[in-house]
Amino acid sequence: MSSFNGIGVSPGVVVGEVHRIRHTVVDHEVPGTPRQVLDALEAVAADLERRAIAADIEVAREVLQAQAMIAQDPALVEAIGARLTDDITYPDVRPAIRDAFSGFRAALESLGGYFAERVHDLDEIADRTIAELSGEKSGPVILSAPSVIVADDLTPADTAALDMRYCLALVVAKGGPTSHTAIVARGLGIPAVVGCNDAEQLESGDVVMVDGRHGLVERNPDEATVLHHKTREDALRARAAAVTGPGRLSDSTPVNLLANAGSVSDAVSAANAGAEGIGLFRTELLFLSRETEPSVDEQVALYTDVFTAMAGHKVVVRTLDAGSDKPVPFLNTVPEENPALGVRGWRLTRNGTGVMRRQLQALAQAATDTHTDLWVMAPMIDTPAEAADFAAQAREFGIRHVGVMIETPAAALLADKVLAEVDFGSLGTNDLTQYVMAADRLDARLSDLTDSWHPAVLRAISLAATNATTLARPLGVCGEAAADPHLAAVLVGLGVTSLSMAPVALAEVRGFLATVDRATCIEVSQIALAASSAEEAKAMVSAVLES
Ligand code: PEP
Ligand code: MG
């Protein structure tokens, strides 16, 4: 038996035979004329379009369409034309093709985060073009029996081509929590482990157990190991299914359980998952591909759709958090050396374009039209002055519940003064963790540091929560930390009053919180604050909560 660890991105425990996918990388000279290269690129684009039409997974379809568009981009065709100028047969066209892609690559990489992860999609187009020219295209993966798919990296084309009826789990060596593989697996409810470097040791035919919740892959597992992991998983699921209704601790202390959303369909999922409202609506996700600012009327229509999907419930909307890992073309126009620390979120109001004011106007209008209990908060607030400025502007438009995200160390340290300016706060633990730990939240190599269980992060949260309690301001958590049941108990013990998470996580957190009382939450929060590391905090809290 040998164990391989990675990042668990989609829960579930399965045992099955490995089906290993290896990509063809042409490692010899590939001769060709400029015309042949362009024809190969066209063939790749047409193939991607065909796969996009055939894909029945929405996210795979979107990425394939985007890839097809890149392959047809006139700037790419021009870049190839500039490198292969003579009408002759070049002995090896691979360097020219890779070089033509390099400008696009650099542009994506400089954006960081989600976009940097898309560099793999770009590389895949180059690889496919070369394989097309050399006649070494890899055929489709045929699965004839249920299998655990293991790969170095799974491209959108790979996942779109997989017969999901036979796909037990996904294990990939590369990728992080926001990689394409993670998104697809969660969407389909298939266990998945990414960033599993040692996965390259696995070969087709190996028998493995995958625990997608705990990021574990076990080769040749014995029966006792499988039983332990399955029982634990089943118990977690059963506990989740057994509790319905609003979030409560076992002593009836209410904990508002809300959902994070970034689209109308997310809002529908939130309603279906029994969310008590939306705790974070990420408005920038509506505009990631917009070249120009949507008009106020257009925004009113979009927000109206979201509010209608959550009719009768509270909706917390965040004003545009453009920049860093979520650049919006019409807002983030200046290249930045260090975008996570740059002009992002509320800081964009420094540009004086009035975008946030128009957004506040549209939000207020849509809420009035739909009689929605609208709460609006600003992201990346650092100082009391920024909080006061936002509050004044939002109130001008008649918005009654005005809040701020507490996601920078400055805002947490000054929470007594920042929260005094507004009606509520929401801890963005994803960013708070990356800024407290000075570690990029999307860098899989730093996942030991970007862990919200770290006592340094918990102490920042504790400070904010203590001040929120003194000021009688509701303080929620809307980062990923809220979705971890044990951490949720710690957060409640620290004084947090609501938790907002991906709709899929709600049942489990609701089920777990129903088993603990307030005194236990306070006890484990103190244990976690006193720990020296994230691992120690997690282990000591688990020992109490699972006893
Ligand atoms: C956060 O930072 O925790 C948060 C909820 O916002 P985002 O992940 O969109 O930056
Ligand atoms: Mg954030």
pLDDT tens track for 171-214: 999 877 667 788 778 777 899 999 898 998 999 999 999 999 98
Catalytic choice (19, 167, 454, 478): 478
**Ligand 1 contact via 428 beta carbon (within 6 Å):** yes
**For ligand 1, atom 3: residue with the closest CA:** 428
**Ligand 1 contact via 327 beta carbon (within 6 Å):** no
Mean pLDDT of 90-113: 81
Given a cut of 70, is residue 114 above it in pLDDT?
no
Ligand 1 atom showing the smallest separation from residue 407 Cα: 2
Beta strands in 283-429 (DSSP E): 314-318, 373-378, 401-406, 424-427
Best residue among 286, 407, 427, 475 to mutate for probing ligand 1, ranked by most atoms within 8 Å of CB: 407
pLDDT tens-digit profile of 253-292? 999 999 999 888 889 889 988 999 999 999 988 887 788 9
With beta carbons less than 8 A apart as the criterion, state whether 40 and 128 touch: no
Residue ranges of the chain that CATH labels 1.10.274.10: 34-134
What was the pLDDT predicted at 174?
A: 82
Given a cut of 70, is residue 111 above it in pLDDT?
no
Proximal ligand: closest to the CA of 325? 1
CATH assignment, 3-18+145-234 = 3.50.30.10
In this structure, which topology does domain 243-546 adopt according to CATH? TIM Barrel (3.20.20)
d(CA 312, CA 241): 24
Mean pLDDT of 384-410: 98
d(CA 233, CA 189): 14
What was the pLDDT predicted at 395?
A: 98
What was the pLDDT predicted at 141?
A: 66
With beta carbons less than 8 A apart as the criterion, state whether 454 and 533 touch: yes
What one-letter code names the amino acid at 377? Answer: M
**For ligand 1, atom 8: residue with the closest CA:** 430
The answer to whether residue 478 is catalytic is yes
**Ligand 1 contact via 282 beta carbon (within 6 Å):** yes
What was the pLDDT predicted at 287?
A: 84
The answer to whether residue 167 is catalytic is no
Average pLDDT, rounded, for the chain: 90
d(CA 492, CA 521): 6
Given a cut of 90, is residue 138 above it in pLDDT?
no
Mean pLDDT of 471-493: 96
Best residue among 263, 288, 429, 431 to mutate for probing ligand 1, ranked by most atoms within 8 Å of CB: 431
d(CA 162, CA 177): 21
Given a cut of 70, is residue 420 above it in pLDDT?
yes
Proximal ligand: closest to the CA of 442? 1
Given a cut of 80, is residue 442 above it in pLDDT?
no
What one-letter code names the amino acid at 338? Answer: N
Ligand 1 atom showing the smallest separation from residue 426 Cα: 5
Which strands sit side by side in the sheet containing 216-219, from one edge to the other? 2-5, 216-219, 207-211, 13-21, 147-151, 167-172, 192-194, 7-10
Residue ranges of the chain that CATH labels 3.20.20.60: 243-546
Neighbours of 311 (CB within 10 A): 11
What was the pLDDT predicted at 56?
A: 66
What was the pLDDT predicted at 441?
A: 83
With beta carbons less than 8 A apart as the criterion, state whether 485 and 510 touch: no
What was the pLDDT predicted at 116?
A: 67
With beta carbons less than 8 A apart as the criterion, state whether 440 and 340 touch: yes
Proximal ligand: closest to the CA of 501? 1
**Ligand 1 contact via 429 beta carbon (within 6 Å):** yes
Proximal ligand: closest to the CA of 482? 1
**Ligand 1 contact via 325 beta carbon (within 6 Å):** no
Ligand 1 atom showing the smallest separation from residue 478 Cα: 5
**If you write DSSP's letter for every residue of 43-86 in order, what string do you get?**
HHHHHHHHHHHH--SHHHHHHHHHHHHHHT-HHHHHHHHHH--S
What was the pLDDT predicted at 117?
A: 64
What was the pLDDT predicted at 347?
A: 96
Q: 3-class DSSP state for residue 317?
A: strand
In the chain, % of residues over pLDDT 70 = 95
**For ligand 1, atom 1: residue with the closest CA:** 428
d(CA 454, CA 327): 28
Residue ranges of the chain that CATH labels 3.50.30.10: 3-18+145-234
**For ligand 1, atom 9: residue with the closest CA:** 282
**For ligand 1, atom 4: residue with the closest CA:** 428
Count how many residues are written for the chain.
547
**Ligand 1 contact via 256 beta carbon (within 6 Å):** no
- Ranking 14-28, 139-153, 305-319, 386-400 by mean pLDDT, the lowest is 139-153
Q: How confident is the model at residue 139 (pLDDT cuts 50, 70, 90)?
A: low
What was the pLDDT predicted at 140?
A: 59
Phi and psi at residue 477, in whole multiples of 5°? -125, 130
Choose among 160, 204, 162: nearest CA to 67. Answer: 160
Choose among 113, 114, 42: nearest CA to 80. Answer: 42
**Ligand 1 contact via 431 beta carbon (within 6 Å):** yes
**Ligand 1 contact via 113 beta carbon (within 6 Å):** no
Given a cut of 90, is residue 102 above it in pLDDT?
no
Catalytic choice (180, 229, 313, 454): 180
pLDDT tens-digit profile of 346-358? 999 999 999 999 9
- Ranking 389-398, 439-448, 535-544 by mean pLDDT, the lowest is 439-448
With beta carbons less than 8 A apart as the criterion, state whether 340 and 380 touch: no
- Ranking 27-41, 118-132, 505-519 by mean pLDDT, the lowest is 118-132
What was the pLDDT predicted at 128?
A: 85
C-alpha distances (whole Å) from 78 to each of 71, 89, 96 are 12, 18, 12
Given a cut of 80, is residue 147 above it in pLDDT?
yes
Q: Which two tokens stand for residue 445?
A: 């190599």
Q: In 100-121, which positions are buried (b, 16+ CB within 10 angstroms) versus exposed (e)?
A: bbeebbeebeebbbbbbbbbbb
What was the pLDDT predicted at 311?
A: 92
The helix-helix angle for 34-54 and 119-134 (nearest 10°) equals 120
CA distance from start to end of the chain: 28
Given a cut of 60, is residue 363 above it in pLDDT?
yes
In the chain, % of residues over pLDDT 90 = 62
What was the pLDDT predicted at 286?
A: 85
Ligand 1 atom showing the smallest separation from residue 325 Cα: 10
Looking up tokens 């959902």 gives 259
Superfamily of domain 34-134: PtsI, HPr-binding domain (1.10.274.10)
Q: How confident is the model at residue 158 (pLDDT cuts 50, 70, 90)?
A: confident
With beta carbons less than 8 A apart as the criterion, state whether 402 and 423 touch: yes
Contacts with 399 (C-beta within 8 Å, 6 or more apart), sequence order: 360, 363, 364, 367, 374, 376
d(CA 291, CA 535): 44
Choose among 296, 309, 213, 324: nearest CA to 261. Answer: 309
Mean pLDDT of 139-146: 73
Ligand 1 atom showing the smallest separation from residue 430 Cα: 3
